[in-house]
Amino acid sequence: MKSEIQPFILDLAKRIQQQPEGFIFAAFSAPSDKTSEIKRVRMRPLIVKGALHFQISSFTETQCFSVNVLPQEIGSELTKASTRFSQALFHFINDEIHAHIEDSKISYKVTQHKKVYLQNLSHNRSKNYQLPEKEPSGLLIALGIQSKEGKVLRDKFDKFKQINRFLELVADIRDEMSESPLILDFGCGKAYLTFALYSMLQDARIVGIDARKDVIDKCLALKDALDATNLDFKQMRIQEYRQDGPVDLVLALHACDTATDAALAKAIEMHAQTILVAPCCQHEVSAQIKKEAHPLLLEHGLLKERFSALATDAMRAEILNQLGYMVDLVEFIDPEHTPKNLLIRATRKKHPTPPNWDAYKALKNSLGVTLTLERLLKLDL
């Protein structure tokens, strides 16, 4: 559907003001001005000291700034965002609107949700998970995350939180993907994330890849039980995977040690539009780095381990940056739930600049290390 932007925004603001409890969030992305520091804007309702407000969060490449505005101001905030971004997603409890904005026109598609969830607007409300915490889910029960009564099992709550955070991140960028996106989950393991994505995005083609035959066999059995036609699993090493055509999203949830590098290298090779990778168990740099490089930092084993992990991800981020990606390093879940909470989020730039490896080489040489990612990409540095 198409419309003039101003009447569309006025109708949208009126709907939100009249039924704020039915409004989940609005997400704006793809800045019209490519030089803008603000890359995304997200809006959501909340109750502050008993009164309805709307939280407006603006995201740069490295920071988030939030302000709370009154209900009568939401129309002007929506108008302002619609002049600065070309993509928008408006998420309500019973439908969602995917929109493309160009000049004074807006093209949009309305999709009805299969399930309707109620929302609590309290500032300290229970988390509105993509997969509800207390509602029995055949998928979560089959995956061993929920009991038959719908309670998340105690030893699976961290996994439940991680999956929902990933789903939230994917929901934020859904409007930037193609109509039937291709999503690859490298090192899928038991495929908690793969199946969860399928439950949220049944119009997507999703492939889970893992080298272990036993887990792939179990995943295929559950796929057949769910009759998940757009979901597939392949037993192979990440480096062996081949794909013709565009890839919208590459995921790797807690890809251990150099498996993160394999996932990143394959994503870069396939020119994936977006990459979401959460590394863990990073030992490669720690094994190479010499204490003499930074004696005070590396004297103690714990500090050396943490410093090596940070240096590893800084170097990975710079490789992605130089190869045409806009990169964020963010916490994707509260540290209280897992210490392994860093996420590498990368999106292909529309207008990449020629690479300049000076900063990368300076860090690499000062530490005396070489990453597997550098070798996999055959970078001559």
Predicted local distance difference test score (pLDDT) of residue 335: 45
Q: What percent of the chain has pLDDT above 90?
A: 47
Token digits for 200? 């949220």
d(CA 92, CA 75): 16
- Residue 157 vs residue 372, higher pLDDT: 372
Per-residue pLDDT tens over the stretch 20-46? 888 989 999 989 988 888 999 999 888
pLDDT at 117: 45
pLDDT of residue 205: 93
What's the pLDDT score for residue 184?
97
pLDDT of 87 higher than 80: yes
What's the rounded Cα separation, in Å, for the pair 182 and 164?
A: 20
| pLDDT band at residue 251 using 50, 70 and 90 as cut-offs | very high
Alpha helices in 207-300 (DSSP H): 213-226, 259-269, 284-288, 295-298
Calculate mean pLDDT across residues 133-161.
81
Average pLDDT over residues 276-291: 89
Give the domain ranges of the chain: 2-112, 138-376
Looking at the chain, the whole-number percentage of residues with pLDDT higher than 70 is 93
151-182 pLDDT, tens digit per residue, is 888 888 888 888 888 888 888 888 788 888 99
If you average pLDDT over each of 100-104, 110-114, 191-195, 209-213, which comes out highest? 209-213
pLDDT at 215 over 90: yes
The whole-number pLDDT of residue 118 equals 45
Q: According to the model, what pLDDT value does residue 125 have?
A: 44
Q: Mean pLDDT, the chain, as a whole number?
A: 87
Q: Which are the contacts of 57, defined by CB distance < 8 A and separation ≥ 6?
A: 41, 42, 43, 64, 65, 66
Q: For residues 317 and 301, what is the distance between their CA atoms, to the nearest angstrom?
A: 24
* Secondary structure element (H or E) that encloses residue 217, with its range: helix 213-226
Tell me what the mean pLDDT of segment 279-298 comes to.
87
Question: Phi, psi (5° rounding) for residue 133?
Answer: -70, -40
| Residue linked to tokens 């393991």 | 189
Higher pLDDT pick, 105 / 291: 105
Query: pLDDT at residue 123 above 70?
Result: no
CA-to-CA distance for 374 and 381, rounded, in angstroms? 9
Query: pLDDT, tens digit, for every residue of 5-18?
Result: 999 999 999 999 98
Count CA within 13 A, CB hemisphere, residue 28.
Answer: 24
Q: What is the pLDDT of residue 174?
A: 83
Q: Is the pLDDT of residue 338 over 70?
A: no
In 3-state terms, what secondary structure has residue 31? Answer: strand
Q: Is 187 left (phi over 0), alpha (psi -120 to 50) or beta?
A: left
Could you name the CATH architecture of 138-376? Answer: 3-Layer(aba) Sandwich (3.40)
Which of the listed ranges 88-97, 224-233, 281-290, 350-359 does the model predict with the highest average pLDDT? 350-359
Q: What is the pLDDT of residues 309-320, one digit of tens each?
A: 999 999 999 999
191 phi-psi bin (left φ>0, alpha ψ -120 to 50, beta other) = left
